[in-house]
Structure 1
């Protein structure tokens, strides 16, 4: 059974196993459906992981050190690769494939891979060197020396993660550009398997402690890479050891990647600022409580913003490359409008059922009633941020498809400044236990205002491009031809006079 048109079709037979399922090309709806299923599986496994983690470590010093240690590796990875590389690589790869053929497209892919390997290795070495100063002076200056030392050690272990993730991102970008979302979707679900394994080791092997989930993160990202390799091998990839920093395709990727990486990096700098402020909160359980609340809020954001956005980007990029701006605007409005409409009820559900959900899932072992109450309070603030975050993820895809990464960077910088200002401002009014609300409320105000600005700018941009639409130009030519053909010989003669 098939619903929708060619781009928005939904064919149930495409999901039948066998017959090269991993090689099938999916529409926007089919790709989003696959990614949503994978994200649901990933989040369910993530809840299992968090239940075990909370039961073992609660919201104590080890948990705070673990959460804080992930900040620098995550930021470095997203500055160089992450979603930034996927958004920059796909439009250029598709354009090269269409204009210059498969051979040049694979040469470009090899060059991007080689350059990324060198950059991520350099980032790993630099990160190992700066970790102590970064943790002590920027990340958690309000924590005790023992917590700082543990955070430094865990950070240095986790810094291997960006190298593996960066190489896996190239594989994901190749598969996504071919509209093959199955294996990238499976890789999302597989990630938590490694983390759960590390936690089980911590539980049953004496003396491992917090190092179990820390090394588990490295196993998790390695699994993410390995599970996508079969799909890559079926693409007839032609790897070559090419090193040409003046390659025009690399220059195009770099033009998109630089502002895109800076835009995503700005968002992660916001997380570092949040952690910095949180280290001074009177309740020592605040950082762990914020992490648990953010994890629950991240499910609807990922389902709506990430899954739909990742599926939508290749289609928007193809339409932009073909000059079909009217279709692009129609598709963007339909998908974004429907997705944003889902975030309001999702936010209400989080606010209404957050407390019993936290109690049911997390209040076991070292996770006590106080931790539950504090997590629920933080979740109320994060629920307010949900619509703006999901809308921002979707709207940025429209700019990336137009090969404009500077606008998202500018709006993200604006959001960071607003977030920073609101942290200082709200701290003047919220004290004691309620002070934890400052962090999510600052995020909500910044994300909501940024989404409104991005939406207005994208619609204005596409409206300007309508005159350049290839279909519109052909229609205008046809109208002029029909108008000229209706003229009588007398009228034609008078025109020449």
Structure 2
């Protein structure tokens, strides 16, 4: 199967999840706006979500997948099953202990980490603590889900793992629909959502477990033992956990700072949901597919194939994210108005969230490129180097956020996150290049420059048309009129960008059809190391 088909499989399932996420956020905006209860729920949910990224997606996509792939290559399915059971026993036990400890410590965590600004409001603080306690077991479900997703990805069964996140959105949409239908107050709505998160975690775990059984494997619980394989996993996973959660870490830093202003946390979350669409569809798809592909190529000694996979993935990312970044910059207010401006979400909220989204748009290519570059280290079982770069990124983000928040409020936090993302991307890219794990291609550089030109032309056209159609996009226009105008602008922008990109040579059919096709080398190559 070609890389582009694998990207499409994961990206398509992720797209479905993100679209349901838009529905969820639209209903959240209508029910809660950017009021205090929205701040409370998002603050309480951010912490289990952070640990999900740290101990689940980051650690296991980076550390478990290469080791599991190696077991398949060297000891077959039986060896991989034995390894997965060893890991499951340790992971389950550690997560159970961690969940209990974190729930007992939740008042201190909210005071010092999650939302220091809430400490001066006893009621807001108390609700945040209780909701976080209810939602924290979601971490345990999602960490086990991530492990089984890593198994499925290594076995080239991508769909079940990619579709599982949709159940979180479906459950939360159901909770919001019932709340709006019943006319529930914001506090009751928040509790429906909190319990919904926990239910969704159980459903997601059930979906991927079914996928693992369908793939021909089963996992039995074994008494936790720190075997050599498990120890190796932990050595790789701890730095990978920190690195894999870089976006969540930076967002947690921003949230802690933003908690000093009412409505700031919710505003950042609403903007975050929009740029998560291209980040999820492209970035997650590339990261999920590329890591096992690179691992297998390197374990088989196919260094040329590994280099080609890495460069083609970068090319694919830039081809799709550069125009998305330009569109988010130009149409940020219009997108927010169409998606959110109703109910408790007013025109003032649109201006604030739109400004944040425009800045996130500038950081989008960096956020996605990180997903395409990190597998170049993880596939070589190097998780320490990206962790060091994560430390630098977090330090930059924290310094800028503290400096810019008093001046630009929420936009200052967005500027800090986007800047930190580009710094992390630069460090990853030039380190891979310096080590010889990334081959410099002048063709790729030339195409990137031409894609920037095509995106810029598209942005100017969008800006011109959005001003000409301002009456159709104004708050006074009907929702149907706004949706049709936005849809027409997006369709025209895609036509302009893709036509120009192919016309001037930024992309060609061969790049899409052939370069993304995986070609396994007939024999191992020499003249290089895994590093």
User: Equivalents in 1 of 2:409, 2:211: separation in Å?
Assistant: 48
The Cα of 1:323 is off from its aligned counterpart by: 1.8
Paired residue secondary structure (1:316): helix
Deviating beyond 6 angstroms after TM superposition, the runs of 4 or more aligned structure 1 residues are: none
Does structure 1 conserve the Cα–Cα contact (< 8 Å) formed by 2:69 and 2:154?
yes
2:426 corresponds to which of 445, 449, 452? 452
Secondary structure at the aligned position of 2:382 is classed as coil
Q: In the alignment, which of 434, 453, 473 is matched to residue 526 of structure 2?
A: 473
Verify the 8 A CA contact 2:30 2:343 in the aligned structure 1. Answer: yes
Deviations 1:34-86 (A, max 9, x none): 11111211111111111111111111111000000012212223332223212
Offset from partner CA, 1:272-327 (integer Å, 9 cap, x none): 2111110223xx22211111001101111112211112111111010111122221
Partner of 1:73: 48
- Of 412, 417, 420, the residue aligned with 1:438 is 412
What is the TM-score of this pair, normalised by structure 2?
0.79
Kindly state the Cα deviation for residue 229 of structure 1 after the two structures are TM-superposed: 3.0
| 1:375 has 2:350 as partner | no
- Of 139-148 and 57-66, the range deviating more from structure 2: 139-148
> Secondary structure of 1:81's partner?
helix
Question: Who is 2:284 aligned against?
Answer: 306
| Residue in structure 1 matched with residue 381 of structure 2 by the alignment | 403
CA drift at 1:256? 1.4
The separation in 1 between residues aligned to 2:90 and 2:129, in whole angstroms, is: 28
Instruction: Note the 1:123-162 alignment, pairs <5 A.
Output: 123-143=98-118, 144-162=121-139
Match of 2:65 among 90, 100, 103: 90
Q: Distance in 2 between matches of 1:464 and 1:355?
A: 38
- Partner residue in 2 for 1:348: 326
Contact 2:85 2:221 in 1 (8 A): yes
- Residue in 1 that maps onto 2:201: 221
The C-alpha deviation readout for 1:175-202, integer Å capped at 9, x for no partner, is 1001111111221333311111121232
Rate the CA distance shift 1:237–1:56 in 2: closer, same or farther, 3 A. same
Q: CA distance change for structure 1 residues 290 and 101 in 2, over 3 Å: closer, same or farther? A: same
Q: 1:179 aligns with which of 152, 156, 160?
A: 156
| Structure 2 residue aligned with 1:36 | 11
Tell me by how many angstroms 1:28 deviates: 2.1
TM-score normalized with structure 1 length: 0.84
Answer yes or no: is the 8 Å Cα contact 2:376–2:437 preserved in 1: no
1:244 CA displacement: 5.7
Distance 1:182 1:265, change over 3 A: closer
Give, in whole Å, the separation in 1 of the partners of 2:215 and 2:393: 39
Moved more, 60-69 or 82-91: 82-91
Q: Give the 3 Å change call, closer, same or farther, for CA 365–400 of structure 1 in structure 2.
A: same
Compute the RMSD of aligned alpha carbons. Answer: 2.2
1:254 is displaced (CA, Å) by 1.6
After superposition, what is the alpha-carbon deviation per residue over 1:127-184, rounded to whole angstroms, capped at 9, x for unaligned?
1111111112332222322211111111011111001111111221111001111111
* 1:440 counterpart SS class: helix
Counterpart contact for 2:405–2:413, Cα < 8 Å? no
> Does structure 1 residue 333 correspond to structure 2 residue 307?
no
**Is 1:385 aligned with 2:363?**
yes
- Partners of 2:527 and 2:327 lie apart in 1 by 48
Partner SS for 1:209: helix
Residue 85 (structure 2) aligns with: 110
Count of residue pairs the alignment pairs up: 442
CA distance in 1, matches of 2:244, 2:524: 34
CA distance in 1 between counterparts of 2:26 and 2:405 reads 31
Give runs of aligned pairs for residues 177-256 of structure 1, distance below 5 A: 177-205=154-182, 206=184, 208-243=188-223, 245-256=225-236
**Distance 1:294-1:114 versus aligned 2 partners, 3 A rule:** same
CA distance in 1 between counterparts of 2:377 and 2:105 reads: 34
Provide the rounded CA distance (Å) in 2 between the counterparts of 1:474 and 1:366: 63
For 2:32 and 2:235, the matched residues in 1 are separated by: 44
Q: 1:54 aligns with which of 12, 29, 33?
A: 29
**More displaced, 242-251 or 347-356?**
242-251
Matched-pair contact (CA < 8 Å) for 1:309–1:393: yes
Residue 403 of structure 1 aligns to a residue in which SS? coil
- Following the alignment from structure 1 to structure 2, what is the Cα–Cα distance between the partners of residues 366 and 410? 42
Tell me, in whole angstroms, the C-alpha distance in 2 between the residues paired with 1:74 and 1:158. Answer: 9
Q: Which protein has the larger Cα radius of gyration, Structure 1 or Structure 2?
A: 1
For residues 371 and 336 of structure 2, the distance between their equivalents in structure 1, rounded to whole angstroms, comes to 26
Contact 1:388 1:447 (8 Å CA) reproduced: yes
Distance 1:257 1:46 in 2: 29
What is the rounded CA distance, in whole Å, between the counterparts of 1:209 and 1:238 in structure 2?
38
SS of residue in 1 equivalent to 2:162: helix
Q: Write the distance in 2 (CA, Å) between the matches of 1:62 and 1:218.
A: 19
The gaps in structure 2 that reach 5 residues or longer are 441-520
Contact persistence 1:76–1:123 (CA under 8 A) = no
Alignment of 1:316-327 (within 5 A): 316-327=294-305
CA distance in 2, matches of 1:309, 1:264: 11
Q: Partners of 1:265 and 1:228 in 2: how far apart? A: 22
How far apart in 1 are the matches of 2:333 and 2:247?
28
Change in Cα spacing, 1:402 to 1:34, as seen in structure 2 (3 Å) is same
CA positional deviation for 1:369 = 1.3
Distance 1:463 1:101 in 2: 28
- Matching of residue 272 in structure 1 with residue 272 in structure 2: no
